Structures are given as structure tokens and as C-alpha cells.
Structure 1
């Protein structure tokens, strides 16, 4: 049983911070702005909400980085709790994508009359899985290798900056090719449940790639600033877990939507 001497304990009691409240307000403002924009609202409100959320996120992460490095508040107990929190967050993301895959297999195995009792529906030309989707699969799998390479470099007290920069470049390349794919796609999100599920599933995955690339980009800066050691690199470890999750989800997307669905 752990003994606490003179009131000291291994937990981090965070100081008063405005970022949780401001972050919640920014998220609510952004979601409301998206709805208003879709029904004919102004783009300026949407841009302002997005910028406010980015600013709050930057300032909040800055404080967390300071707490973990210069202030030394992230003890082993705190790191263990943060690791558990990241695992639970990824599990919640798994449940989110599970609902999308459930909808996809439901309309594929039991297509409705409105779809012509066939999937893809009549008149909808599916994408070939041997074109951009296959290329993006190779890109994401390569990024998984490079981020693992960077992790092993950190564990060996070496610089993981180069493979981490390569991972960020591969993530940006993936998003570029997905934009090219969307530009030339022969159907739209309004083409029955097939089009809706296709764009929601692949679009949300693309959003996760954007978030993961940003996450890795922040750790790229921290790696170049020598914030990580072999025994203390939780920020990088969490981003690597998230990136591997993004890789696995894409493999399911490629197999079920692009390959089997075509």
C-alpha cells in the first residue's frame, strides 16, 4: 500500500484553467456554425469558430506540454491514467466506426427496394479498388512502418525526427489523393444510402487522418526540441496508438467498401 508522506502524493492536481470551458464553447459554436452554414449561413462565422477552437486547442496543449516537461507533473501514476484515457478514447472511436460498418453491411446484404434490391444501386458506378484506394492503402501502411521506426528510435535514445517527418508527409499525401478521388468520383453523397454511407465513412476516416497528422506534427516539433526520452514519451506514444488505429480502420474500409463493395 502506497504511503503518502507530509501530504505528498503521485497524482497531478491540475490548477484552475479556462481551456475546458472555452474549448466546450468553441466546439458548440463550431457545430452550430456548420448547421447554419449548410442552411445558407455565412462562411465567416464558421471560419471564426474553427479558428477559436484551434487557438484554444493550441493553448491547452501548450499547458499540458509544460506540465509534462518543465514542471515534471506527469509521474508514473499520472502517465498510467493518461494511457488508460487514450485507450478508452480509441475504443469509443471503434464503436463509432462500428456503427458505420454495420450500416454498410446492412444495406449490402439486405438492400432495400429503394436501392433496386441490389448494391451498388442501379445507375451508381462504384470506384475501382485498384486505383487511388489501393495507392492510399500502400501509403498508410508505409506510414505505420515509419511511425513504428520512430518509436523504436526514441526507445533506443536516438532521434526519431526523420521517420516521424516521413509519417507526417505520408499522411498529407494520403489526404491529397483522397481529395483527388472525391473530385473525380462518379456519384455523390445524395445518391441513396450507398452514397451517404460511402462519403460519411471515408470522409470521417479522412478527418481522423487530418487529426492524426496534426497530432504527429506537434510531436515532430517536440521531438526536434528533445522533449522525449526512452522512459518518458507519452505524447508520442498516444499519437502512435491513434495512427495505428487509423491504419486498421482504413484496412477495413478498403476491404469492405472499396473491394467487396465494388
Structure 2
């Protein structure tokens, strides 16, 4: 897959204190297989869907032990320049831009509302090799934040996203797009349904052929069902926390129900 335009979600990984347990869990639930751990890069282990690079798992670095969480990376043509825009717009750099061998360069950051994300400037590793609808592929992601105005202003300034608000009084949901037609990310305001100890985060969705089957497998081996399964115009999905606490969703995009919601242009 070619290098993606700046601001496109291009990779996802997660730190797990028990990498072997994570490999077993995601292998069962989304069907991944795994490559060899790269000792040169902290035992970074790539996951594959049908032989294509889909994500990665890695043990935590010293001092970073804690609750596991998925990290979504956005494509950047120049991570140092993008990091500069992050700082200029009230964000925080958590890990300064650094080269990862000849694979590419990365950076970790946090938006003004507390949402952690990464940047990836592709070298030999261009990111996801999967298409969103393939089984086991990254399909979609949403910024969950208690301060939507901060995230909306920040991400538009850093990546130039066009924004559309969903016309629904029940939820505060917005779509971020590159250009006129390429929707790349959602943004959801966290309600009081989220316990105060749950920090803002980006929720990643992985494609599965059958949402209910994936949920049954996941909960049988220790996952916690947070929401769903629910059929929508976009697919049938469910939100889960894996046995080590990382939040993610599964979605079957072939099972849809209802009409697409109305959207209002914001910017």
C-alpha cells in the first residue's frame, strides 16, 4: 500500500505486559498471526491479517508499565514539522521524533484534551497493508474526549481536517475528513457513562466477518463487553476491553441497518 496522505490513520500498536497472552487473545478474536519479535526494537511484534501487516504488539518500556491501550498513528511527511504544529496548537510531545531503523520515523503526542496518538513518517514500513473491510484489518477509529472543542480545534489545525457534525441531539459526534470525500476519523464526546478514571483515548475498530461471533469468543476468554453488539448504517459493531484492559471495537461492515445520519458542515 502506498504512503498515505498526511493525517491519515496509517498504523496501530499496543503495549502489553503479557505479549504472549495478547497474541493469543487477538489471534482468537480477530484472526491475526504474528511475526518474530524484533529484539533490536524492544521485541516489537507485528500482527498479520491474511499475511498482510495489520498492527503490532510490544512489551512496555521500563517505567511505562500500566494499563494497556491501543495507539493510533497518523501519517506525516515530516514528523519534526508535524510535531512543531502540535506544540504550536497546544499539544504536548510525549516522545520526540526518532528514527526506527530504516522502517521510518515516529513521534508520540497528546492533544490539549488528553488524547494520546502517534505520528509515522514512512520509510520501508508504509503502515497498514490491509484494506479496511478485510477480516482482521484496521477499519475505523474515533477520538473519545471530554473536551470536544479542544480536539476539534487541535486536529483541524494540525492536519487540516474538514469537519462535519452529526445531526443527532442524543450524541455529540463529528467526522474528520481530508479533502472533500476522504473521511478518516470520528470524534465522540465522552458522556457521564464513562467513569471519571477512564482517560480520553482513540478507539480503534478491527473488521471481523461476524460481530456477534467475535464478541462471544472475546468474552469467553476474558474480555469485557462495554457496548453492543449494535447494528448501524455503518455496520454491526461492539466495544470491548481486552483481558489486559485495552479498549477496542470489532465491526462487521457487511451487516448494516438504518439510514445514514444527516451531517452538517462545520469547517
With the shorter chain as reference, the TM-score category is under 0.3
- Greater RCO (CA < 8 Å, at least 6 residues apart): 1
TM-score under structure 2 normalisation? 0.23
Hey, which of these two has a bigger chunk of helix by percent? 1
Which entry has the higher C-alpha Rg, 1 or 2? 1
Hey, which of these two has a bigger chunk of strand by percent? 2
TM-score under structure 1 normalisation? 0.23
